[in-house]
Amino acid sequence: MGKYRPALADLVAAVGVAALYRAHVRPWIYTWGARPDEVAATLPGDELTEPGGTRTTRAVTVYAPRQDVWPWLVQIGEDRAGFYSYSLLERGVGADVHNADVIHPEWQQLQVGDTVWLAHRYGPQARQIVAAVKPRSHLVLVSPADYERLRRGEKASGSWSFILRREVGRTRLLARGCGGAAGRFWFDIPHFVMEQKMLRGIAARAQKTRTQEIAASIARHPATLRAGHPAKTAQVT
Model confidence, pTM: 0.84
Q: Which residues span the domain enclosing 118?
A: 16-220
Residue 14: the pLDDT is 46
With a CB cutoff of 8 Å and minimum separation 6, the contacts of 234 are: 214, 217
Termini Cα distance of the chain: 70
Residue 27: the pLDDT is 93
Rounded to 5°, the CA angle 191-91-108 comes to: 75
Residue 12: the pLDDT is 47
pLDDT tier at 23 (50, 70, 90 boundaries)? Answer: low
- Asked if 139 contacts 159 with a C-beta cutoff of 8 angstroms, the reply is no
Closest CA to 74 of 159, 173, 167: 173
Residue 25: the pLDDT is 85
Residue 192: the pLDDT is 96
Length of the chain: 237
Residue 233 lies in a domain: no
Residue 228 lies in a domain: no
Mean pLDDT over 163-178 rounds to: 97
CATH no. for residue 176? 3.30.530.20
Report pLDDT digits (tens) over 73-103.
999 999 999 999 998 888 888 889 999 999 9
For residue 63, what is the DSSP state?
S
Residue 165 lies in a domain: yes
Q: How many domains does the chain have?
A: 1
Residue 184 lies in a domain: yes
